[in-house]
Amino acid sequence: MNYVTQVHESIQSIEKTQWNALLGRQDEPTPFMRHEYLNALETSRSATPETGWRSRFVTLEDKHTLLAACPLYLKTHSYGEYVFDWAWAQAYERHGLAYYPKALVAVPFTPVPGSRLLAQSDVLRKALLEEVLLLCQSWQVSSLHLLFTSEDDQRATSDVGLMARQTVQFHWQNPRLPQVSSFDDFLMTLNQDKRKKIRQERHKVNQAGVVFKTIEGRHMVQEDWEFFYRCYSQTYYEHGNAPYLSREFFEAQASLMPDNWLLFKAQQGGDDIACSLIGLEREPSTHRPKVAYGRYWGALKRVDCLHFEACYYQPLSWCIEHGVDRFEGGAQGEHKMARALLPVATQSAHWLAHPSFASAVENFLQREGEGVSEYLEHLKTRNPIKTPS
């Protein structure tokens, strides 16, 4: 197939309509791979060379038609990725080798599984990945990493010989049962001890006089976004870190992608005290919310169990009411199982230029993969869902 490989330093040089149309054809599209989202990371200075993210968007084009594309970043650190390779970098350093810069195909600061190699066909997807590998070799980077990939991506990475790695996240799947039309109905599908625990946690929040207001993104006003950012940034600062995402990034979301966000705002005594911001993937034809993503949370005041209410129970209740297929709780967090978010394996793929280190990492990933499989089997024994009688 005839195509021209292009490397773009900015996603702004790629036509937005073509990029988003290509994304819409993938097996696992997410709002975080939209042109608007990636562009906001760039223009808000959240993911730029100054913060360790040098963008190199790779495209395959034919007569100005976008055939395949992916976001690629040259990284000078491993922050904001959620698939951890710090030990690999330290091993390189001990042997006097440079691990950075490395190449990353991922969405910065966003551990959400989905399509990364956007292509019109499987053949083009594999061709795109092969071109990315050639670029990595010519740039003499230490390695290439594709994070939180889709099933189509995984077939392509396997075909070209990349090493696979599994991590674990916790997702809620809509049971689609006729008798489950409310949160109380949902609770009845859980084991008694889990049901009791959730009710106790919700009671504590209720007894503290906390109520919630739900605001869809298109109805969020500037004051809502400003309050959210106060909560979001304070949570980072309380943990001794500056927030990854700037105020300007969320201002761009308010204007460019309002239908992809949902805010749960906690109020006590008439004062706004906390909130969680949820991402939404919508069905293109009906605009129905298909998937919800737990993304950001913050609080200006401490209330016992408020985090669970804002980040799990309010979103789950909304998802049940609106017929959402799946709620993804974000990276890590075994405690989510007690809230009926069940373990799922997420995938990444890796290539290392140095043959000896590639062999060592391959051996490590084999052992790690066996451990992850055992861990998933162990978690199955703790399923909070009642066994049908």
What are 354-364's pLDDT values in tens digits? Answer: 999 999 999 99
What are 373-387's pLDDT values in tens digits? Answer: 999 999 999 999 987
Do 164 and 181 lie in one domain? The reply is: no
Do 157 and 8 lie in one domain? The reply is: yes
Per the domain annotation, does 29 fall within a domain? yes
- Please give the residue range of the domain that contains residue 99: 4-169+345-380
Do 241 and 276 lie in one domain? The reply is: yes
Enter the DSSP assignment of 11. Answer: G
Q: Please, is 162 exposed, middle or buried when counting C-beta atoms within 10 Å of its C-beta (0-12, 13-18, 19+)?
A: buried
Query: Which token pair is 382?
Result: 């703790």
Per the domain annotation, does 356 fall within a domain? yes
Per the domain annotation, does 389 fall within a domain? no
Q: Which residues of 180-189 are buried (b: 16+ CB within 10 A; e: fewer)?
A: beebeebbeb
Per the domain annotation, does 125 fall within a domain? yes
State how far the Cα of 353 lies from the Cα of 78, in Å rounded to an integer: 17
- Token pair 């036509």 is at which residue? 15
State how far the Cα of 261 lies from the Cα of 263, in Å rounded to an integer: 7
Structural domain count, the chain: 2
State how far the Cα of 184 lies from the Cα of 118, in Å rounded to an integer: 40
Do 164 and 179 lie in one domain? The reply is: no
In which element (H, E) is residue 366 found?
helix 355-380
Per the domain annotation, does 296 fall within a domain? yes
Do 179 and 144 lie in one domain? The reply is: no
Nearest CA-CA partner of 209 in 310, 314, 303, 308: 303
Per the domain annotation, does 53 fall within a domain? yes
Q: In this structure, are residues 294 and 276 in contact, taking their beta carbons and an 8 Å threshold?
A: yes
Do 164 and 229 lie in one domain? The reply is: no
Per the domain annotation, does 334 fall within a domain? no
Q: In this structure, are residues 145 and 106 in contact, taking their beta carbons and an 8 Å threshold?
A: yes
pTM, entire model:
0.95
Q: Which residues of 11-43 are buried (b: 16+ CB within 10 A; e: fewer)?
A: beebeeebbeebbeebebbbbbbbbbbbbbbbb
Query: Which token pair is 176?
Result: 């689609």
Do 215 and 318 lie in one domain? The reply is: yes
Do 165 and 180 lie in one domain? The reply is: no
Do 165 and 179 lie in one domain? The reply is: no
Do 14 and 86 lie in one domain? The reply is: yes
Residues 6+ apart with CB under 8 A from 120: 22, 25, 67, 68
Do 262 and 214 lie in one domain? The reply is: yes
Per the domain annotation, does 281 fall within a domain? yes
Do 260 and 128 lie in one domain? The reply is: no
What's 184's domain CATH number?
3.40.630.30
Tens-of-pLDDT digits for all 389 residues of the chain? 789 999 999 999 999 999 999 999 999 999 999 999 999 999 999 999 999 999 999 999 998 899 999 999 999 999 999 999 999 999 999 999 999 999 999 999 999 999 999 999 999 999 999 999 999 999 999 999 999 999 999 999 999 999 999 999 999 999 888 889 999 999 999 999 999 999 999 999 999 999 999 999 999 999 999 999 999 999 999 989 899 999 999 999 999 999 999 999 999 999 999 999 999 999 999 999 999 999 999 999 999 999 999 999 999 999 999 999 999 998 878 889 989 999 999 999 999 999 999 999 999 999 999 999 999 999 999 999 987 65
CA atoms within 13 A on the CB side of 125: 24
